[in-house]
Amino acid sequence: MPTPSLYSAIRDHDFSETTCFLCGNDVENNQRSREHVFPKWLLHHFGLLDHPLTLLNGTRLAYRNLVIPCCQTCNNECLSSIEREVQERFMMGAAEVASMDRGRLLLWVLKIFYGLLYRELFLSIDRRDPAAGNIVSTEDMEQFQLLHFILQSCRVPMDFSVMDSDIPASVFVFEVQEPSNADWKFDYKDDVVNRTLYLRLGNVGILAAFDMGAQTPPGMEFFSRYQGHLLHPLQFAELGANLFMKARVLNRTPKVIIGESSERVSFSVISIAGLSSSPVFGTWEAEDMAEMLMFFLGYPLEMVMPVKGRLATWLTNSDGSLRTMSMDAPPWAMPADNTL
């Protein structure tokens, strides 16, 4: 049987409700040829089927309706084995998710990130004016072609070669205290422009930057301190703010070489640092991080920046030790006792 070849949907602007988002094969426009962006087991587990997600244009769409066209082969063979493994490991706890093959975990979170973009290809930016165009245009999708190629590694044999990482992304898993309130057990955020994802599933926290591995070395240095500890959701949210800000100040455009043979695809990421002497990452202003913390925590400015130019932190105590936070106190109303 011949090896499947990469599908260049983005190059050909081949998007429709009757084209498989992953391989390009024709599908019928019905429920049997639909893949849920957020898997059904997750929606059932957290009671999200009828809960709304706010899209880029402000539209609120129920999670159950976030579906994308997908052929039976890609759905039932290529993606389902990854889905089953994530579900099984999730049920056993954060440590099991963290020990999962990182390439497979990457595909799981990347399908969610890319799938949301794909869904928005078919939704009007202004429902009152269909002629205004869609939330995401086919031209917008061109910048995500490499991510689509990575996602196809579930259907096409692919070898990754990344200078500073084992996968072409930066993915980190944490153990998080699980709130008793059902409405607080799940949280999702992303930054489409800077290609980052934040996902809290009960006691599992996942951060991902689809940056060809750029954040892996600094992330291993910064995030490793908090991996293996039971974090409060506030602390995990602060880590998410850090990942998103780091992606915002990336000073490089990763370069990739893709080679196809009759048997496999090679996906090679050129050294992120390259020949430039300038830092890979820039710096950010305290005020910018304050805005990011407000986005993640839902706190007002005076709580995230109690002193002008100095940020509050929920991660460490004033002596630099890791802060222990209990879920017994109101989880999203606890002030920090330290500033950076």
What is the per-residue pLDDT across 49-58, written as a single tens digit (0 to 9) for each? Answer: 999 988 777 7
Q: Do 207 and 227 meet the contact criterion of CB atoms below 8 Å apart?
A: no
pLDDT of residue 28: 81
Top pLDDT among 275 and 209 is at: 209
Owner of token pair 């706010």: 54
pTM for the model:
0.92
C-alpha 308/C-alpha 317 separation (Å) is 19
Query: What does the pLDDT look like over 286-310, one tens digit per residue?
Result: 999 999 999 999 999 999 999 999 9
Query: What does the pLDDT look like over 176-216, one tens digit per residue?
Result: 999 988 989 999 999 999 999 999 999 999 999 999 999 99
Question: Which residue in 10, 262, 12 sits closest to 157, CA to CA?
Answer: 262
C-alpha 58/C-alpha 63 separation (Å) is 15
C-alpha 153/C-alpha 148 separation (Å) is 9
Q: Is the pLDDT of residue 284 over 80?
A: yes
Strand partners, 200: 187, 205
Top pLDDT among 7 and 55 is at: 7
Could you give the percent of the chain with pLDDT greater than 90?
68
Q: Is the pLDDT of residue 162 over 70?
A: yes
pLDDT of residue 330: 54
Which residues make Cβ contacts (< 8 Å) with residue 178, sequence separation at least 6?
185, 202, 203, 327
Q: What is the CA radius of gyration of the chain?
A: 20
- Give the CA dihedral 319, 320, 322, 324, nearest 10 degrees: 30
pLDDT of residue 72: 92
